[in-house]
Amino acid sequence: MTGPMKRYAPFAACVAGIIAIVLLLPRFNAAQPRGIRLTRAQAIAVADPAARSLGIPVGQSWPNLTWTSSSILEKELRSDPQRRARAYDDPVIGPRLGSYRRSYFRRGREKFIPYGVVLVDGRTGQVVAARMFARNEETGKHAVEAELRPRAEAFVKSRAFPGAPSPQFESARPTVLRNRTDWVFRYRVPSNFAAGKIVPYLNVYFIGDRFAGWNLSEEYADGSAFVGDSGGDIAGILLRFAVVYALLIFLVTIFLKKYHAGEVGVSTGSLLFAVVLALFIVCDYMMGPSIIEGMGMGSLDAQQTAIAVMVFKFVILDLPIALVVFLGWSVGESYARERWGERLASFDAILRRDALNATVGRSLLRGALTAPAVAAASFLLGLIPLMMKSAHPNLGGAEYALFFGNPLLLDIFSLTDAIIFPTVAVLFVLALAHRRRVMWIGIPVAIVLGTIGNAAAPPVDPVLQCALFGWGGIAACIAVFLAYDLLSAAVALGGASIIVGAAPLLSVARGHMLTQLSIASVTPLVLIVGFAVAALMTRREVVYSYEDLAPHVKRIVERERVKAEIDAANRIQAALLPLESPQLTGASVASHYRAATEIGGDYFDFLTLRSGEMGIAFGDVSGHGLTSGIVMAMAKAALLVQVDVEPSPRAVMNVLNDIVIRTAPKRIMMTFFFGVLDSATQQLRFSSAGHLDPYVYRADGGRLEALSSWGFPLGVRRRDPFREHTVCFEPGDRLILYSDGLIEALDDDGNPFGFDRFEQVLRDCGPKSAEEIKKTLLQSIRKFTRNRPPEDDQTLVVVSFEEEVAGEAIA
């Protein structure tokens, strides 16, 4: 993306996103309570007087407020959005599709028998149910039907009931207890709305002979029991728990390793940990009274149950997630600093309490502008299962405004999303993948993590369909990160979470609910844009110098610089070694090289000489690492020049020795073997400078010979000249050159592989080909060491003489 396109892309994305959301919303708002006007506070103001008029001791109770709807009707209508929309206008079905539920729990007693409940229609503010409960031990009269039915009939005729405009008596059902007899009078409610096999009822209750209120209910006409769909929800919850704890273990392992290496800082991660934990505590406090609806814990009362649930959630979920954020930032920042430092600049500025600058402002504005596009991506992908009729819309973010607490919860949860997922799924996963050059794995993993966590997920059920098609938002967030930076992605995801959560309810809300929800959802985005504009007006960019970096970041930068130099040296060294074995007439060659560190000190090469012969070079610089690699490269360069001038082994050794003495650091020596092989005569002329004696396996008798050629290593001023030797080979003979890294390979007890084992393996596999001898030797050493990493470079060259020839060597 070019500069101008990248600059104006957020504005285009904003416009396109808004248009897409407007067009897609009608497909996602079917589950929303159409025409809802009342806020939670207004519902409480209606419910409490109704409860008092029924005799419920409101002042002595512990009340809470949730949102409820007919489960039977919801299941019947969810697959047909058009029919569900019409149902809201039906006088019988409409009031049953969504109401505020005000429960009045007893203090100090188990919660499943409250004082009573009141339901308030969120559209009209009418009381659609008000019922009082009594504990079994409470006393009352053993009244009979004839005594109570006239009172029930009079009550039914005294008013018009929302959801039951013309009830018709069907039955009276007693519940006989030791201390009293309770009655429910059931009135069937005729309806012209096609609700399948569902029969609506109005129920009037008596506790003994005391009037106890009324409610609406529904049943299947054939008497079958209602079966819910909670299995998928439970599976989704268990999956999220498993992912959180798996991430925690994985991140702890990496964090401890990098912490001991001094490559991570904890100050920023600790701040994010504290922020996320504080947000969770606020959410738990606001949701506590509502989340216990339908949940009991033995003899605990409602308030104690709420406290127990909040503590349980805090310990097993909130705290682990906050720890994942801490570790995700600490480790992810460490990886990102190596290659993606510029993507953290805006975050750095905020953490340095220097947020009012153009760098931060630009990121905030990009995030706010791309938020509608991220939300649109979520809706667009979520549209697929709706069109396939394999999913249906649900309340989505409306639960925060209606069931759990108030619209502010939507903002708080969106803020946690903006911290958790960009930190863990984006920063950590993608930075790690980028560092290891496996972005094709990192992006899908980040998308999966975001999808499991419901990051800006579309409001659709069931859980499986949401999981399969709920990754549009997190995928768009990742695209924002890759195009811009982490702060832009975080703001985009947070804004998208608000839009996805609030937009469906906003599209059907009216009155005070519309006003309250609009303020809660629009205010955060307005504040972000306003601050971004103010920051941009400063025209001040944040430019960090090396001295501004945190100590652990400096260590990372320095380590990355050294690593880059080593990588370059490693590539140079790889270019110095032969890429493949030479092709010879009458002989075959197999070779192996493994460095103990990034830069090895061993060297071997095959050189085609002007005479048609082949030069075999084999060297081992003392030690291993960068210095040894440089000496090896220097020897290679000198060797290439010398073989063009005079390739005899003695002349080569004299020149190399002089160069090493003059240029290599003191105490650096190099053993070296150089031979000239004439494949036509199968004769080898060679000299050695302190290198381990090569072995010759003689096919005649299966015996081993050591090509002894004593001499000082290169780099030592010598009194004796180099000696040149000649050896002839017969068909079936083998020449084996090796470095001391193979002989000195150690097992778990520190014992070396040794010459005896090495020679025995050569005797056993001597008749085999060069490639088979190589593989057998290496397998024997690996089995001996149990695959321990070598402590010294390991190099092996095997030449197998197959037949007697008289031609020239083929290059």
DSSP of 31-66: TS-TT----HHHHHHHHHHHHHHTT--GGGSEEEEE
- Per the listing, tokens 């600058």 go with 357
> pTM score, two decimals?
0.70
Task: Give the model's pLDDT for residue 557.
Answer: 60
Task: Give the model's pLDDT for residue 522.
Answer: 93
In whole angstroms, give the CA distance from residue 693 to residue 691.
6
One domain for residues 540 and 562 = no
Mark the ranges of the chain whose per-residue pLDDT is less than 50.
546-548, 806-811
On whether residue 806 sits in a domain, the answer given is no
One domain for residues 383 and 255 = yes
For residues 79, 83, 84, 86, the Cα torsion angle rounded to the nearest 10 degrees is 170
- Structural domain tally of the chain? 4
- Per the listing, tokens 């001295």 go with 547
In whole angstroms, give the CA distance from residue 21 to residue 471.
16
Using alpha carbons, select from 351, 346, 344, 350 the residue that is nearest to residue 363. Answer: 346
On whether residue 807 sits in a domain, the answer given is no
Segments forming the whole domain that contains residue 567: 549-576
| Residues 677 and 684 sit within 8 Å (Cβ to Cβ) | yes
On whether residue 692 sits in a domain, the answer given is yes
In whole angstroms, give the CA distance from residue 103 to residue 303.
12
On whether residue 34 sits in a domain, the answer given is no
Task: Give the model's pLDDT for residue 144.
Answer: 93
Task: Give the model's pLDDT for residue 807.
Answer: 42
One domain for residues 245 and 265 = yes
On whether residue 377 sits in a domain, the answer given is yes
One domain for residues 89 and 158 = yes
On whether residue 174 sits in a domain, the answer given is yes
Work out whether strand 587-594 and strand 602-608 pair parallel, antiparallel, or are unpaired. Answer: unpaired
Task: Give the model's pLDDT for residue 810.
Answer: 32
In whole angstroms, give the CA distance from residue 392 to residue 385.
8
Please calculate the CA angle 788-792-793 and round it to the nearest 5 degrees: 105
In whole angstroms, give the CA distance from residue 692 to residue 716.
17
One domain for residues 315 and 418 = yes
- 473: its two tokens: 């938002």
Task: Give the model's pLDDT for residue 546.
Answer: 45
One domain for residues 139 and 67 = yes
On whether residue 138 sits in a domain, the answer given is yes
One domain for residues 528 and 556 = no
Residues paired with residue 607 on neighbouring β-strands, in sequence order? 615
Question: Which domain-ending residue is among 174, 190, 220?
Answer: 220
One domain for residues 184 and 239 = no
Phi-psi region of 365 (alpha: psi -120 to 50; beta: other; left: phi over 0): alpha
On whether residue 325 sits in a domain, the answer given is yes
- 400: its two tokens: 């925060």
Question: Which domain-ending residue is among 487, 522, 544?
Answer: 544
One domain for residues 450 and 320 = yes
Task: Give the model's pLDDT for residue 811.
Answer: 30
- Per the listing, tokens 């100590």 go with 551
One domain for residues 187 and 206 = yes
Question: Which domain-ending residue is among 492, 524, 544?
Answer: 544
Using alpha carbons, select from 102, 87, 183 the residue that is nearest to residue 140. Answer: 183
One domain for residues 650 and 786 = yes
Q: What are all long-range contacts of 633-642, with beta carbons under 8 Å and residues at least 24 apart?
A: 633/572, 633/573, 633/576, 634/659, 634/660, 634/663, 634/664, 635/603, 635/659, 635/660, 635/670, 635/672, 635/714, 636/576, 636/603, 636/605, 639/605, 639/607, 639/674, 640/607
Work out whether strand 670-678 and strand 614-621 pair parallel, antiparallel, or are unpaired. Answer: antiparallel
On the question of a cis peptide bond just before residue 462, with omega within 30 degrees of 0, the verdict is yes
| Residues 198 and 222 sit within 8 Å (Cβ to Cβ) | no
CATH code: domain of residue 587: 3.60.40.10
One domain for residues 235 and 197 = no
| Residues 631 and 621 sit within 8 Å (Cβ to Cβ) | yes
In whole angstroms, give the CA distance from residue 730 to residue 703.
13
